[in-house]
Amino acid sequence: MKDSILINGSWQSARRVMPIHDAYKGTVIAQVACATQEHAELAIESASKGFEKSKNLSSAQRYEILFATAKLLEQNQAEFADSIVCETGKTITAASKEVMRAVNTLMLCAEEAKRLNGETIPFDSYAGNENRIGYYDYQPLGTIVCITPFNDPLNLVAHKLGPAIATGNAVILKPAEQAPLTALMLVRALLKSGLPDCIVSVLTGYGAEFGDYLVSQPEVAMVSFTGSSVVGEKIAKAAGAKKLLMELGANSPVIVLEDADIDLAVESSVSGSFLASGHNCIGVQRVFIHEAVYDVFREKFVEQTKMLKVGDPHLIDTDVGPMVDDNQVSRVQTMVKQSIELGAKVLCGGEYKDKVYLPTVFDNPPLTAPVVAEEVFGPVVSLFSYNNLDSALELANLPDYGIHGAVFTSNIDRAFSVASALDVAGVMINDSTDFRLDAMPFGGSGRGSLGREGVYFAMREMCNTKVYCFNLCRSDI
């Protein structure tokens, strides 16, 4: 795996390598090459050649490549799932589901490759243009740099590579430093499925060493990034005047009304809080519960949280595995410690035990506590009691960025009302904030809202429209 840099269709090594650790065992499972600025220069040249190939593939050819890749993932589900578990600490159950979601994502890309339709334009709708007819279609941008996070190391890569290939672009992929192995497996599957050389290049290693150079080059038409707002802002400044597609995190709120199905609300929120050890940009972080049902909700929530089995993510009955690395553990520990110092009360968890940060629940913590005011991106959730819905909505909307929110109620009118008032890009009614269908538009609201992913929508982000207008100079009219 030391030959993990892909340029000009050739897997290459580098002078330096970096270790990739098993998130639970801590052992080194692979070493990957550390790309340099020189590699980035060569990757850009390679992508330029790849774009000439990619844009000339027929929609049928793109379909066949993406469909064949999806089938390879499906046939090798166990191998891909095991890689995800090792790299990220995600449980084998969750990892297996991620593989099948990636299969679906690539299938959607294959199908949409044949449905990238333009439309006719009624030029004669304005006086003087009666002899003009025309239409527009979608044209690929060129070279797209895709930078992916560690938390969904397969499906989030598929959400970038798939639409880019379906639209005839070339891609330079920079996978997450903590979890590049599964992304490399996906790229190899694409090549095995017939993707021509140079359409996809891969740069593994430390992004800080070549990232600014890579995204700033004029040959790069677009940067697609999923990750933290701090890194996103840095990339945006370095990239300059080019197209950006970014998802920069969230602090997901849930509103539980007094008429809600409490058992459903508890079960959905527990799952949404602790799935993938909280490494989830749309995971539940703040739950606002009406005071009439708060005590019941809190008791059941804590009870279910304590029942979660933590430990080895390879075991089928494990619910919560480790966080991806010690840096993430330290970051969450600091946030929890600072919140407790501000007066936050821990109902359960708050400890690092046997390589797992225990699922942690806070009871009405101060709004200034880091676990409330910032994105935790870990297995931590805060419960709040409210008696005025408008006040709860105001608190839910305090962060200036968001992706999903949720409301639990049995009243359809109130569901619509709360959904409308939540300042997020998607609202789940009687469901967890972490629900996502890979066909739906996905992105942020407020700060960090730069475009939309979701196959159909990402494909159009990765294109420009081109207009064709015919002036029919008819001498017989």
Do 117 and 31 have their domain in common?
yes
Q: Are residues 347 and 240 in the same domain?
A: no
Residue 476 has pLDDT above 70, yes or no: no
pLDDT of residue 474 exceeding 80, the answer is no
**How large is the average pLDDT for residues 367-379?**
97
**Shared domain check, 209 and 78:** yes
In this structure, are 55 and 189 located in the same domain? yes
- Tell me, yes or no, whether 437 lies in a domain: no
Instruction: Say if 224 falls within a structural domain.
Output: yes
Using alpha carbons, select from 203, 205, 226 the residue that is nearest to residue 214: 203
In a domain, 474, yes or no: no
Looking up residue 309, the CATH number of its domain turns out to be 3.40.309.10
Q: Are residues 337 and 402 in the same domain?
A: yes
pLDDT value of residue 475: 57
Question: Is 142 found in the same domain as 273?
Answer: no
pLDDT mean over 351-365: 96
pLDDT exceeds 60 at position 477:
no
Residue 389 near residue 407 (C-beta atoms within 8 A): no
Residue 431 has pLDDT above 60, yes or no: yes
Task: Return all residues near 241 (Cβ < 8 A) that are at least 6 apart.
Answer: none
Domain count, the chain: 2
The predicted pLDDT at position 449 comes to 76
Known active-site residue 247: yes
Q: Are residues 272 and 393 in the same domain?
A: yes
Q: In this structure, is residue 435 part of a structural domain?
A: no
Q: 109, 146, 281, 463: which is the annotated catalytic residue?
A: 281
CA atoms within 13 A on the CB side of 78: 1
Token pair 């997901």: residue: 252
Strands (E) across 304-419 are located at 345-348, 352-353, 356-357, 360-363, 380-386, 401-402, 404-408
Which of 21, 13, 4, 5 has the alpha carbon at shortest distance from 325? 21
The per-residue pLDDT for 2 is: 84
Query: Within this chain, do residues 39 and 140 fall inside the same structural domain, yes or no?
Result: yes
Residue 225 lies in a domain: yes
- Residue 439 domain-assigned (yes or no): no
Per the prediction, the chain carries an average pLDDT of 97
pLDDT at 354: 86
- Supply 75's token pair: 């046939």
pLDDT tens digits, one per residue of 96-108: 999 999 999 999 9
Given 87, 98, 247, 453, the catalytic residue: 247
Residue 469, helix vs strand vs coil: strand
Label residue 26 exposed, middle or buried (CB < 10 Å: 0-12, 13-18, 19+): exposed
Do 343 and 295 fall within a single domain? yes
Backbone angles phi, psi at 89, to 5 degrees: 85, 0
The angle subtended at Cα 462 by Cα 135 and Cα 39, nearest 5°, is 140
- CB distance 341 to 333 below 8 Å: no
List, for residues 118-143, the tens digit of each pLDDT value: 999 999 999 999 999 999 999 999 99
Residue-level pLDDT at 82: 98
Taking only the tens place, the pLDDT of each residue in 172-208 is: 999 999 999 999 999 999 999 999 999 999 999 999 9
Q: What is the pLDDT of residue 473?
A: 81
Range of the domain at 231: 5-248+448-467
**Claim to verify: residue 311 and residue 177 sit in the same structural domain:** no
Position 446 scores a pLDDT of 86
Contact predicate 232/448, CB 8 Å: yes
- Which pLDDT band holds residue 447 (cuts at 50, 70, 90)? confident
What is the pLDDT, as a whole number, of residue 1?
Answer: 67
Residue 333 has φ and ψ, to the nearest 5°, of -55, -40
Domain CATH code at residue 96:
3.40.605.10
3-state SS string for 253-288? EEEECCCCCHHHHHHHHHHHHHHHHHCCCCCEEEEE
What's the confidence (pLDDT) of residue 119?
97
∠ at Cα 189 (188, 193), nearest 5°?
115
352 shares a domain with 412: yes
Let me know whether 257 and 230 are in one domain. Answer: no
Decide if 26 is inside a domain. Answer: yes
- Give me the count of residues in the chain: 477
Based on the residue annotation, tell me whether 109 is a catalytic residue of this protein.
no
- Identify the weakest region by mean pLDDT among 16-30, 172-186, 381-395, 442-456: 442-456
pTM of the predicted protein model: 0.96
216 belongs to a structural domain: yes
Q: Are 135 and 121 in contact (CB under 8 A)?
A: yes
pLDDT tens for 265-309 read: 999 999 999 999 999 999 999 999 999 999 999 999 999 999 999
